[in-house]
Amino acid sequence: MIFGYARVSTQEQNLDRQLDSLKVAGAEEIIQEKITGTKADRPELNRLLDKLRKNDVILVTDLTRLSRSTKDLFSLVDQIEKNGANIKSLKESWLDTTTPQGKLMFTFMAGISQFERDLISQRTKEGLEAARARGKKGGRKPKLDDNKKKAIYELYQQKKTTVKDLCNMFGISKPTLYKVIELSLIHI
């Protein structure tokens, strides 16, 4: 079975161009959706994925109708292939998992994407190591111990020290200061 999937982002947009292209390309059933592509939960796409069987094909006019990110696309293609089905894009001819060449191209593109993610990860690690070598520490600041929390609360209650000075004194933000005070009030 060849399923077409047509999507636009808003209710005001029109699906006619996609529907016409999918029909001409041989879609036997077309699933339509009017929802932004950035939403992970697309009910009609999920319904389509649930009904896929071995050798079915999902046909889209272009990849932007199916997903907004490479990560999402690879996840969807993986889900489609687990059902024994395939995907084909009319605009991006390299995405056609119904052919050995299309599968190779998709695998190649997936490999490039993974390579890019690995490079970003490697650069991040190298940057953190370089920062540590210069004495900088990354991550969250250590939590305040009970003695510091008590001191913050007492100084705040005395109303002799400004909020800004308290924050500077203990190296904390205003939200953290107010959270310490709020929690101290609860435990009184």
Check if 9 is active-site: yes
CA–CA separation, 2 and 51 (whole Å):
12
Q: How many CB atoms lie within 10 A of CB 8?
A: 18
Candidates 9, 67, 69, 173; catalytic one: 9
* Catalytic residue numbers, as ranges: 9
